[in-house]
Structure 1
Amino acid sequence: MEAETLALAREVDFSMWGLFARATLTVKIVMLMLIVASIWAWGIIFEKFYSYRTARREADRFDRAFWSGEPLDELFDQIGPEPAGRSERIFAAGMVEWQRSHRDDGGLIAGAHARIDRSMDVAIQKEAEALQKGLPVLATVGSTAPFVGLFGTVFGIMNSFIEIAEQQNTSLVVVAPGIAEALLATGLGLLAAIPAVVFYNKFSADSDRIVAGYESFADEFSTILSRQLDS
């Protein structure tokens, strides 16, 4: 009897596709949700790798141009009021307000320094929001995917016990497939959650560092303009 049971167990398809195909509709929906969430999370991860690397390279390139000794007006004329780079947009926001603060006679309108600071703060906030776009999705996948997978596991195990009760049989052939497909849901949940949590923490720290660099630049730029205002 035991040999016959083992022979029947070997005939059961325990591959990923076999477990998915044999699962109940509810467990299949859970698995599909987790697969979609994992693909979505990896799409955001690759996009953030590219955008953060581009932002760092652009910031380094602009810092070299800014501190090269070239007059700021000439640098602004080169990049224009609506540049493509993030650091350049912050610089352009300050320069646009700087130019608008000059009267026709060449004098400065009162409160120019405060307006320039606010303009750059608004630009930094926009860039920070753009850098952090998508991170809430990673946080959501990382925090909910294990529980969604656990729901699928609980539902699958419940169906396994129902099948045991209906067949009045606790043999390996009856129990193993249901338990395996139920645990697959938990595995998919962890597969989606772990990378999402790891890269969410990484990208959050990277975003904070990049934004801190923008704020440091804005402070230095504001100091330079302040000297010119005082003179």
Structure 2
Amino acid sequence: MDPNAVSPESFNAVNLFLRADWVVKLVMIGLALASLWSWTVILDKLFRFAALNREANRFEDAVASGRSLEDIAAEAGERPRHALPRMLQGALKEWRDARGKGSVAEGQAAFLIQRIDRVLDTIIARESQRIEEGLGTLAIVATASPFVGLFGTVWGIMHAFQAIALQKNTSLAVVAPSIAEALFATAIGLVAAIPAYIAFNAFSTKAGKFAARLEGFADDLSTAIQRRLAERV
């Protein structure tokens, strides 16, 4: 039996890869690595956002329970990893510093609120940047993979035309393997790009919602501090 004969087994994924030109092989390997990279980011983001929202729910419930904010902040430890307890501790630190210098006058109260808002905005900005890490990777894979796969397709088709020229045979059996290899490169590009594109949009939305949640918590903290100031006037 001719080893180069075309059969149904010639078109499975393994044989398509093994028979491919070295350039097409490099394209396939690169796209497979890009897909693996994007799936690593996807799984990390899935678990991270689930943990962030779960901890945020728990902490917001504790704050809404009516307990002392100082007690809740103390329970979070000295260096909490979650943004919400860090925001609470930052706001209370500014409050304690202002109270330690004596009574807060009306002008000083406005300045205190501004300082607290700056502290909270800084924490929100850093947390937003942290939760958006990896989204750039997904964007690159989503946008570049189809074009890389298309390059492999074009190269494979060129290889098919070379086979026609060398063998002086235009039968489908001559060009089918090379064309299949080219289309397989495109398929791998789409397999890498589609999940990355969907995940990028989904996680961008989640990141925006979480940032809005932090901003809402910051507004509540500012309101709580203003209420304390009003009660002490």
* TM superposition score normalised by structure 1: 0.92
1:209 matched to 2:212? The reply is: no
Match of residue 197 from structure 2: 197
- Are residues 12 and 64 of structure 1, via their aligned partners in 2, closer, same or farther at CA, if it must alter by over 3 Å? closer
1:102 Cα deviation from its structure 2 partner: 3.1
1:125 Cα deviation from its structure 2 partner: 0.9
Runs (5+) with no aligned partner, structure 2: none
1:13 matched to 2:10? The reply is: yes
Deviations 1:47-94 (A, max 9, x none): 111000011111100011011111112222222342122321222222
1:82 matched to 2:51? The reply is: no
1:146 matched to 2:146? The reply is: yes
User: Which secondary structure does the structure 2 equivalent of 1:213 belong to?
Assistant: helix
- Corresponding pairs, count: 227
Match of residue 158 from structure 1: 158
Q: Which stretch has the larger CA shift, 72-81 or 204-213?
A: 72-81
Contact 1:156 1:178 in 2 (8 A): yes
For the residues of structure 1 that align with 2:131 and 2:30, how far apart are their CA atoms? 26
Structural RMSD (CA): 2.0
Deviations 1:184-210 (A, max 9, x none): 110000000000111111111111111
Identity %: 41
Match of residue 48 from structure 2: 51
Runs (5+) with no aligned partner, structure 1: none
Match of 1:30 among 13, 17, 27: 27
- Are residues 186 and 139 of structure 1, via their aligned partners in 2, closer, same or farther at CA, if it must alter by over 3 Å? same
- Whichever residue aligns with residue 31 of structure 1, its letter is M
For the residues of structure 2 that align with 1:219 and 1:204, how far apart are their CA atoms? 23
1:173 Cα deviation from its structure 2 partner: 2.2
* TM superposition score normalised by structure 2: 0.91
For the residues of structure 2 that align with 1:75 and 1:106, how far apart are their CA atoms? 24
For the residues of structure 2 that align with 1:41 and 1:166, how far apart are their CA atoms? 40
User: Which secondary structure does the structure 2 equivalent of 1:80 belong to?
Assistant: coil
Deviations 1:97-130 (A, max 9, x none): 2223333446579311101111011101111111
Contact 1:80 1:92 in 2 (8 A): no
Match of residue 137 from structure 1: 137
- Whichever residue aligns with residue 29 of structure 1, its letter is L
- Whichever residue aligns with residue 188 of structure 1, its letter is I
For the residues of structure 1 that align with 2:117 and 2:78, how far apart are their CA atoms? 17
Contact 1:83 1:92 in 2 (8 A): no
Contact 1:12 1:177 in 2 (8 A): no
Deviations 1:146-185 (A, max 9, x none): 0000000001100110111111011222111000001111
- Whichever residue aligns with residue 77 of structure 2, its letter is G
- Are residues 11 and 190 of structure 1, via their aligned partners in 2, closer, same or farther at CA, if it must alter by over 3 Å? closer
Contact 1:31 1:188 in 2 (8 A): yes
